[in-house]
Structure 1
């Protein structure tokens, strides 16, 4: 496995690429829904910005960030 941050395995065993690259939108949504920490979220945002830069995916990640912040409060 590469040492590159965009390929690092996150806490639940999925890389940002595995979360955001499936062809099935439901799998992408599930990948985002299973993000439970800001570190993983940031890695996914960085991956998306560097590779696909899809606004609808970045928007979903932004919503997830809000959810994580609200859960912390």
Structure 2
């Protein structure tokens, strides 16, 4: 993992790897649901693109981005 992704930790202390690589999908869903800012979301998308490239996870991240944008605007 690159240093920039490793250094990208949100205030709750979770890295993109911790959010997207837990042992079951319920924890992945929780990791995505607790993203509250675009910076963290972008770091998670970058991590997923650089590693697993799972379409389903990227779609969940996209839906989360839409929700964050709607709350900001």
Structure 2 segments unaligned to the other structure (5+ residues): none
Q: TM-score normalised to the size of structure 1?
A: 0.93
Paired positions, count: 72
Match of 1:50 in 2: 50
Query: For each residue in 1:11-36, what CA deviation from the matched residue of structure 2 results, as whole angstroms up to 9, or x when unmatched?
Result: 21000000000121000000000000
RMSD: 1.4
Distance 2:2 2:49 in 1: 19
